[in-house]
Chain A
Amino acid sequence: GDSVTQMEGPVTLSEEAFLTINCTYTATGYPSLFWYVQYPGEGLQLLLKATKADDKGSNKGFEATYRKETTSFHLEKGSVQVSDSAVYFCALSDRTGNQFYFGTGTSLTVIP
């Protein structure tokens, strides 16, 4: 069945460092791909999404490109801030739009 595998954490970076969180997926057909973020004490919220191959989602300096050839949707940011400390979840919705699959989450801590 469909699934998402993301890089295990926790990840600790210094402020202004480059961030990559890897995400790969297994799906039948062409899923939509998402990154959700959960800041401390808050609920999950959508960070960015891509709905077809080669699409790039971007928000708040974060980017991820839907790569069909490598079945990947890696999250990147060029310069992280302390305020980016959170748990990041990669997710997909299947081709029917009726099923959603989340990765296990990657905890990021950015230190000053």
Chain B
Amino acid sequence: EAGVAQSPRYKIIEKRQSVAFWCNPISGHATLYWYQQILGQGPKLLIQFQNNGVVDDSQLPKDRFSAERLKGVDSTLKIQPAKLEDSAVYLCASSRREGGDNEQFFGPGTRLTVL
């Protein structure tokens, strides 16, 4: 089966600009996750969707970050406006269903550089 797809793979922007990332999960996977991975750190969960509803977004900086998953399939993560500290790799993952013991399948990530 095809894996989790993300685009773009790389993005360079100036601070205060806006940026959006796209994720297409594995077909049939109900749960979708967005993570932020800063260089030298482990992934940090930003938001979790179950179908098109938000399960948890407690770690999402909602003053500048937003995410949606229309129709319960693809998802976009937006940053507006970007700050220098947003430079990171943004990972999307999906799993068949909700629940802590379910395997997550990760995409290749989008590397964001904010200048």
Contacts and interface: CB of A to CB of B under 8 A. Distances in A.
Range of interface residues on A (Cβ < 8 Å): 20 to 34
A31 B42 contact: no
A98 B106 contact: no
A93 to B, nearest CB: 3
Contacts, number: 59
Interface centre among A31, A98, A100 (most CB of B within 10 A): A100
B contacts with A: majority SS: loop
A98 B44 contact: no
B81 to A, nearest CB: 27
B108 A43 contact: yes
Interface of B: 3-4, 33, 40-45, 48, 55-56, 58, 91, 93, 98-101, 103-109
